[in-house]
Amino acid sequence: MNFRQSFKIAAKSIAAKKGRSILTMLGIIIGLAAVIALVSFTQGQNKWLNDYYAQMGDNIININATTWDGRDISEQLYTYCQKMDEYMLGVTPNYQCWGELNVRYGTKSLSSYNTDWENQPQVYLGNQQFTLCLNYELEDGRDLAYIDVKNMNHVCILGSRIAKNLFDYAQPVGQRISINGTAYTVIGIYKECDPENVGNGKDNVILLPYTLKKLFGDRVDGGSFVGKAKDAASVPKAIGLLNGYLPGLVGDSGWGNASTPNTWQQSANEQNKMQSLFLGGIAALSLLVSGIGIMNIMLVTVTERTREIGIRKAIGAERKTIITQFLIEACLICGIGGIIGIAVGYLATAILCKLVLSFIVWPSVSVTAGAFIFSVVMGVIFGLYPAVKASGLQPVEALRAE
């Protein structure tokens, strides 16, 4: 008796017992497909929520780090945040200038004292990630570059409302404006982000390299930073890391804290956590149900199979031969069922995601592999069970099984 013959007997047995083979496969197929589709769909839903939150311009982390001895910690903070690239997209100083501001281009001028509140300029000092972190987009020109920050270039980016008020329909990029008497070259214009002008004057922003801070003296609050997390789930993680790091950075002569400005962002994270739990629960439950299904189908046939084993032993099959046959049988049935189950699961995922989410999240390899291995192991254990049990009996005992 060699392996090839065992394989032939097993294949013959599967083909002969079509009903049972199909039922077993069906158990595995449905179980696997359900696990894969449910897990992927829930993951897709998660991603959809995350994208939705990200699109809403958030995942912002406010970082307040003040030093009382005048040390500039922004480079260190920036470097640290870059190292957290698993959670963080970027960080920028977000220093606002207080007090009187006079912005001039040619004959036009805007003042923080004499202009209507809705057109008052607001000067912020930031780095090359300011645009990213505060969810601006460029309409024209270029973004602030590292070199501008490093060389303390007198350059600025204008919010859409400021640009419109100063330049009307002229081309602002490349022109020079003056702020409190100092000249700056306009290198870029932001897209309008608050058309109704109901927000906090986001379109009235003038961004300057934060290294020009000294020009504004003590009218700049130097302790404010804004970070941007990768997604909603990363927000609490990044905050945790930052709050661990900040006290060491500011030392005894300073104070540091990171937090998210939005309570709904926090609740979104809670929701994410809940969903992950829910997901795990669904996966575990589906696997359990499919496992029980497989077990049932296998155990229902134990008596029948025990008799069969008795017959096979009576006509001269060795124990090893019988176990090999049953092992091959179980592996074949479960393997084929498993592969079909994965295919059905992927198909169901695609259809479900397409219909509901309008994008497809493919099942992760670990979920697929885990579910496959679980189903096949269940199938093989319970498929092998009658063989191991009955092949050790005297043939007459196995034949007596009723």
Partner 1 sequence: MLIDVKDLFKIYNEGKENEVRALDGISLQIDRGEFVAIIGASGSGKSTLMNVLGLLDIPTYGEYHLDGTDVTTLTDKQQAHMRNKQIGFIFQGYNLIPDLSAAENVELPLIYQGLKIDQREERVEEAMRKVAMFDRSNHKPAEMSGGQQQRVAIARAIATHPPIIMADEPTGALDSRTGRHVLEILHELHEEGTTVILITHDTSIAATAERIVRISDGKIVMDGTREEAGL
Binding site for partner 1 (CB under 8 A): 1-2, 5, 8-9, 12-13, 16-17, 307-308, 310-321, 394-397, 399
Q: Min. distance of Cβ 331 from partner 1 in angstroms?
A: 19
Q: Exposure pattern of 274-302 as b/e (b: 16+ CB <10 Å)?
A: ebeeebeebbeebbeebbebbbebbeebb
Residue 166 and residue 49: Cα distance in Å, rounded?
40
Name the residue nearer to partner 1 (CB basis): 18 or 214: 18
Residue 272 and residue 268: Cα distance in Å, rounded?
6
Name the residue nearer to partner 1 (CB basis): 170 or 396: 396
**Burial class of 389 by CB neighbour count within 10 A (0 to 12, 13 to 18, 19+):** middle
Q: Min. distance of Cβ 383 from partner 1 in angstroms?
A: 16
Q: Min. distance of Cβ 22 from partner 1 in angstroms?
A: 13
Distances (CA, A) of 303 to 315, 329, 385: 19, 17, 11
Name the residue nearer to partner 1 (CB basis): 138 or 399: 399
Place of tokens 């957290």: 84
Q: Min. distance of Cβ 309 from partner 1 in angstroms?
A: 10
Name the residue nearer to partner 1 (CB basis): 8 or 176: 8
Nearest to 65 by CA among 222, 262, 218: 222
Q: Where are the beta strands (DSSP E) in 162-313?
A: 176-179, 182-190, 205-209, 224-229, 254-259
**Burial class of 355 by CB neighbour count within 10 A (0 to 12, 13 to 18, 19+):** exposed
Q: Min. distance of Cβ 20 from partner 1 in angstroms?
A: 9
Q: Min. distance of Cβ 401 from partner 1 in angstroms?
A: 12
Q: Min. distance of Cβ 289 from partner 1 in angstroms?
A: 28
Residue by residue, what is the 3-state secondary structure of 310-375? Answer: HHHHHCCCCHHHHHHHHHHHHHHHHHHHHHHHHHHHHHHHHHHHHHHCCCCCCCCHHHHHHHHHHH
Q: Min. distance of Cβ 17 from partner 1 in angstroms?
A: 5
Place of tokens 């592999």: 369
Give me the helix-helix angle, 263-300 and 234-250, nearest 10°. Answer: 130
Nearest to 172 by CA among 132, 146, 206: 206
Name the residue nearer to partner 1 (CB basis): 7 or 362: 7
Name the residue nearer to partner 1 (CB basis): 291 or 310: 310
Rg over CA atoms, the chain: 34
How many other C-beta atoms lie within 10 A of the C-beta of residue 181? Answer: 8
Name the residue nearer to partner 1 (CB basis): 9 or 348: 9
- Is residue 384 within 8 Å of 326, Cβ to Cβ? yes
Name the residue nearer to partner 1 (CB basis): 230 or 312: 312
Q: Min. distance of Cβ 1 from partner 1 in angstroms?
A: 6
Name the residue nearer to partner 1 (CB basis): 20 or 161: 20
